[in-house]
């Protein structure tokens, strides 16, 4: 059990760091997500060096200026990695950010994870893409759990006709393989959407079809809760339905609520990645982890430019970290119920 604790903390720490990095993308990303360095198409990751050509050790890592850039007027040689460098201005809400956490001076370039076919920095795009993919998962999971709670509780609480209709609906949704359903609903909407609209549409679609499974669980809780004596007593004392739900059903549903949330977030992150990967989600030039992976559908890119798999690795890490979280929540709920 101690080991599990350690794993849980590790997972939570990693998740918090990843989300902070995504939120702070404007500060951390060395380049804009759409900045193209055309002369550096598919450039491999820039190596950070500590030893110069004479074998001298430097405490400050530096990068070699690449030959292609030297011709552009640079002195050639090396450029040290610096913290808090000045970059192009970025508008972040009401503020203008001009500093970057780290960077190198032109003409040297710093591509920590290489570049894609347009010479765009994969590391910067990974950070900006995390915003889209992670937030899409969080919002969509939030929406479907809330919808699931409202509808499921209504079904369990009132019973009768409402219950019947809602449960038939969930059955219908669950009778389709989830990805096919997602695709079918996506096909209803216009294919070409701006990035922001595509993002909102994704959340609405997934929230709109994802509530079925949680709703069934919430219904079970509500049915059980309604029969408890203190709920009956409260009702006898004249409590309104809303009061009963908020005061008595909701607290009992919280375990299911958080467990479902933790289970659904990685699932919906994957859904966003899948849709964007297949060209039905957020489109270029705005990065999402899915559309960054799309170029890998060409076999040549997959075989030759391994660093393009970075979003897949990031995806793996995020999903891997959500797993112990969901496990822990589930165990806690079970312990609470017993």
Partner 1 sequence: MNYVLPRLVHGLVLLTAVSVLSFLMAELAPGDFLADLQLRPGVSEETISLLRARYGLEEPLPVRYLHWAKSVFRGEFGFSMVYQTAAGSLLLPRARNTLFLTVTALILAWCTAIPLGVWSAHRPGGIMDRMAAGLSSFLLATPTIVLGLSFLLLAARLDFFPTGGMSSLDFDELGWAARLADLARHLVLPALALALSSFPVIYRHVRAAIGEVVDAPYLRAARGQGVGALRLLFGHALKAAANPLISLFGLSVAGLLSGSLLIEVIMGWPGLGPLLLESILARDAHVVVGAVLLSSVFLIGGNLLADLLLLWMDPRTREVR
Binding residues vs partner 1 (CB under 8 A) = 168, 171-172, 174-181, 183-191, 266, 270, 273-274, 277-280, 293, 296-297, 299, 302-303, 309, 312, 315-316, 319-320, 322-323
Looking at the Cβ atoms of 151 and 225, the one nearer to partner 1 is: 151
Distance of closest approach, residue 240 Cβ to partner 1, in angstroms: 35
The residue among 15, 305, 226 whose CA lies nearest residue 137 is 15
DSSP-derived secondary structure for 151-205: HHHHHHHH-HHHHHHHHHHHHHHHTS-HHHHHHHHHHHS-S---HHHHHHHHHHH
Distance of closest approach, residue 200 Cβ to partner 1, in angstroms: 16
Looking at the Cβ atoms of 69 and 296, the one nearer to partner 1 is: 296
Which residues, in sequence order, are CB contacts of 194 under 8 Å at separation 6+?
Answer: none
Distance of closest approach, residue 21 Cβ to partner 1, in angstroms: 20
Tell me how far apart the alpha carbons of residues 254 and 336 are, in angstroms, rounded to a whole number: 11
DSSP-derived secondary structure for 259-299: HHHHHHHHHHHHHHHHHHHTTSSSPTTS--HHHHHGGGGSH
Distance of closest approach, residue 61 Cβ to partner 1, in angstroms: 30
Burial class (CB in 10 A: 0-12, 13-18, 19+), 93: exposed
Looking at the Cβ atoms of 284 and 323, the one nearer to partner 1 is: 323
Looking at the Cβ atoms of 71 and 306, the one nearer to partner 1 is: 306
Tell me how far apart the alpha carbons of residues 123 and 61 are, in angstroms, rounded to a whole number: 18
Residue 172's φ and ψ, nearest 5 degrees, are: -60, -45
Looking at the Cβ atoms of 242 and 299, the one nearer to partner 1 is: 299
Distance of closest approach, residue 206 Cβ to partner 1, in angstroms: 14
Looking at the Cβ atoms of 185 and 239, the one nearer to partner 1 is: 185
Tell me how far apart the alpha carbons of residues 25 and 8 are, in angstroms, rounded to a whole number: 26
Looking at the Cβ atoms of 77 and 279, the one nearer to partner 1 is: 279
**CB neighbourhood size of 299 (10 A):** 8
Distance of closest approach, residue 334 Cβ to partner 1, in angstroms: 13
Distance of closest approach, residue 257 Cβ to partner 1, in angstroms: 22
**Sign of the C-alpha dihedral computed for residues 126, 41, 63 and 306 taken in this order:** positive
């Amino acid at each position: 059990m101690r080991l599990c604790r350690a794993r849980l903390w590790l997972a939570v720490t990693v998740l918090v760091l990843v989300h902070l990095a995504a939120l702070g993308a404007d500060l951390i990303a060395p380049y804009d997500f759409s900045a193209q360095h055309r002369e550096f198409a598919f450039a491999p990751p820039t190596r950070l060096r500590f030893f110069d050509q004479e074998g001298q050790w430097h405490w400050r890592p530096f990068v070699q200026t690449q030959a292609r850039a030297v011709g552009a007027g640079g002195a050639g040689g090396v450029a040290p990695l610096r913290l808090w460098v000045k970059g192009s201005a970025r508008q972040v809400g009401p503020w203008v950010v001009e500093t970057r956490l780290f960077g190198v001076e032109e003409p040297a370039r710093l591509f920590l994870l290489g570049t894609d076919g347009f010479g765009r920095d994969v590391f910067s795009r990974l950070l900006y893409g995390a915003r889209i993919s992670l937030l899409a998962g969080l919002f969509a999971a939030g929406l479907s759990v809330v919808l699931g709670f409202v509808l499921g509780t209504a079904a369990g609480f009132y019973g009768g006709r409402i219950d019947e209709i809602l449960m038939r609906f969930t059955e219908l949704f669950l009778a389709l393989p989830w990805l096919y359903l997602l695709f079918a609903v996506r096909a209803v909407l216009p294919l070409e959407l701006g990035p922001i609209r595509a993002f909102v549409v994704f959340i609405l679609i997934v929230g709109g079809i994802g509530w079925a499974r949680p709703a069934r669980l919430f219904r079970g809780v509500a049915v059980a809760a309604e029969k408890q004596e203190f709920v009956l007593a409260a009702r006898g004392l004249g409590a309104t339905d809303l009061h009963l739900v908020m005061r008595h059903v909701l607290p009992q549903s919280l375990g299911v609520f958080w467990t479902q949330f933790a289970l659904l977030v990685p699932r919906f992150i994957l859904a966003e990645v899948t849709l964007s990967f297949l060209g039905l989600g957020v489109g270029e030039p705005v990065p999402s982890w899915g559309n960054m992976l799309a170029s890998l559908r060409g076999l040549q890119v997959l075989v030759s430019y391994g660093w393009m798999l970075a979003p897949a690795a990031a995806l793996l890490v995020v999903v891997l970290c959500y797993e112990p979280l969901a496990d822990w929540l589930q165990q806690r709920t079970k312990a609470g119920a017993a």
